[in-house]
């Protein structure tokens, strides 16, 4: 079972890769960020140097990795992928940085989870393309300077507020990715349907777009489940609006796109904590999740659609949340 699960995950990852746009022109939405990135890349090309370091922040699935790949592709430079959790010692980062070829694009996902010691090494590397390697211990320790090939760092983080200022300040360009509008997600779905070879009428595309939490990755995932459903229960290569409803109900995606965890958080907030205010970690424990997941994955969307509010005293439920759950607001009845 375990093996089968891993194979399925790999297949899903491969499909996710196949659905990635390769150029800024193919990248849907985020018009402002696209324009800014284009200028940055064009200027670097004219001067024949690597582009400035880029920091991308925003909830998961909005296109940070895809943009890093596009930066490498558009500037015709190789790309190296790494992540904060993989860099637990300064030595890990030294090995990575010293193996870069001139002009390479280095993508560090979840850069806020990198070890502190590595962070400090990164400051110097970003600024001067140089690192100091410590050799030996105690009184005999010396540092040996090491020149690096110039590179472009693309850092991604779910929340730029988690980065220490000195690190944030060393990026020449910082962009925050926003949730996508339904109309943009519909374009993502249309493009992906073409790649997957499945026909989806516009009414069904619209439904998938509205139920994707403003997130392209979710739109693509729902499209694949709808395709599965059409294959097994429907007409195979053409998905109907009915297939969309049935497939999304099967996977517990409600009519405005909230998934099981979103609803668990809302229900806990409303029922257990009588609408709040309640602290993040208390709320996370109540739904059996990591505070970081609740904070970076669940909350931003609930806040954005006006279901949840953040106050200095904690999280609160907004009237729209009660309406959506079909509960009267005043009572805040405990279970």
Q: Exposure string (b/e) for 264-298, b if CB count within 10 Å is 16 or more? A: bbbbbbbbbbebbbbeeeebbebbebeeebbbbbb
Residue 142 annotated to the active site? no
User: Would you count residue 300 as binding ligand ADP (CB under 6 A)?
Assistant: no
Beta partners for 133? 144
Residue 109 annotated to the active site? yes
Binding piece for ligand ADP, criterion CB under 6 A, among 35-43, 55-63, 116-124, 302-310: 55-63
- Whichever of 60 and 309 has its CB closer to ligand ADP, that residue is 60
User: Would you count residue 77 as binding ligand ADP (CB under 6 A)?
Assistant: no
Q: Binding ligand ADP by CB under 6 A: which of 51, 126, 148, 188? A: 188
Residue 238 phi/psi, 5-degree rounding, is -120, 125
Q: Is the bond preceding residue 277 a cis peptide, omega within 30 degrees?
A: yes
User: Measured from the CB of residue 216, what is the shortest distance to ligand ADP in angstroms?
Assistant: 3
User: Would you count residue 214 as binding ligand ADP (CB under 6 A)?
Assistant: no
Q: Binding ligand ADP by CB under 6 A: which of 214, 216, 234, 257? A: 216
Q: Binding ligand ADP by CB under 6 A: which of 170, 205, 217, 324? A: 217
The answer to whether 217 is a known ligand-binding residue is yes
What is the chain's percent helix, strand, coil content, to nearest 5? 55, 15, 35
The Cα angle at residue 122 between residues 121 and 128, in degrees rounded to 5: 95
The answer to whether 61 is a known ligand-binding residue is yes
How far is residue 131 CA from its own chain's centroid? Answer: 29
Residue 64 annotated to the active site? yes
Q: Which two tokens stand for residue 138?
A: 């105690």
Q: At which residue do the structure tokens 């599965």 appear? A: 228
Q: Binding ligand ADP by CB under 6 A: which of 24, 55, 61, 208? A: 61
User: Would you count residue 16 as binding ligand ADP (CB under 6 A)?
Assistant: yes
Binding piece for ligand ADP, criterion CB under 6 A, among 89-97, 216-224, 251-259, 278-286: 216-224
User: Would you count residue 178 as binding ligand ADP (CB under 6 A)?
Assistant: no
Of 65, 152, 157, 215, which residue is the catalytic one?
A: 65
79 contact partners, CB below 8 Å, separation of at least 6: 68, 69, 72, 73, 104, 105, 106, 107
Q: Which two tokens stand for residue 84?
A: 């904060």
DSSP, collapsed to helix, strand or coil, labels residue 301 as helix
Give the annotated binding-site residues for DNA. 310, 315
Q: Which residues bind ligand ADP (CB under 6 A)?
A: 16, 19-21, 27-30, 60-66, 156, 188, 216-217, 220
As annotated, the binding site for ATP includes 19-20, 61, 64-66, 127-129, 170, 180, 217
Q: Catalogue the active-site residues.
A: 64-65, 109, 158, 217
């Amino acid at each position: 079972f375990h093996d089968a699960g891993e194979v399925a995950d790999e297949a899903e990852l491969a499909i996710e890769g196949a659905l990635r746009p390769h150029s800024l022109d193919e990248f849907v939405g985020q018009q402002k960020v696209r324009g800014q990135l284009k200028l940055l890349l064009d200027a670097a090309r004219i001067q024949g140097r690597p582009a400035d370091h880029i920091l991308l922040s925003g909830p998961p699935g909005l296109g940070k990795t895809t943009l890093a790949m596009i930066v490498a592709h558009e500037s015709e430079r190789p790309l190296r992928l790494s992540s904060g959790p993989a860099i637990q010692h300064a030595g890990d980062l030294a090995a990575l940085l010293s193996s870069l070829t001139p002009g390479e694009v280095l993508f560090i996902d979840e850069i806020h989870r990198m070890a502190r010691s590595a962070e400090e090494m990164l400051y110097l590397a970003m600024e001067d393309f140089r690192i100091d390697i410590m050799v030996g211990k105690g009184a005999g320790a010396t540092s040996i300077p090491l020149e690096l090939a110039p590179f472009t760092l693309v850092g991604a983080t779910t929340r730029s507020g988690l980065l220490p200022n000195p690190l944030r300040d060393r990026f020449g360009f910082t962009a925050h990715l926003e949730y996508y509008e339904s109309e943009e997600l519909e374009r993502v779905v249309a493009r992906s349907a073409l790649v997957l070879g499945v026909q989806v009428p516009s009414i069904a595309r619209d439904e998938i777009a509205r139920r994707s939490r403003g997130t392209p990755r979710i739109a693509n995932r729902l499209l694949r489940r709808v395709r599965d459903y059409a294959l097994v229960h429907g007409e195979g290569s053409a998905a109907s609006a009915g297939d969309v409803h049935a497939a999304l109900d099967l996977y517990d995606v409600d009519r405005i796109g909230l998934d099981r965890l979103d609803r668990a958080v809302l229900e806990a907030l409303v029922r257990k904590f009588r609408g709040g205010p309640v602290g993040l970690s208390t709320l996370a424990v109540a739904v059996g999740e990591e505070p970081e997941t609740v904070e970076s994955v669940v909350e931003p969307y609930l806040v954005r659609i006006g279901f949840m509010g953040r106050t200095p005293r904690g999280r609160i439920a907004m009237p729209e949340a009660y309406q959506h759950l079909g509960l009267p607001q005043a009572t805040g009845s405990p279970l």
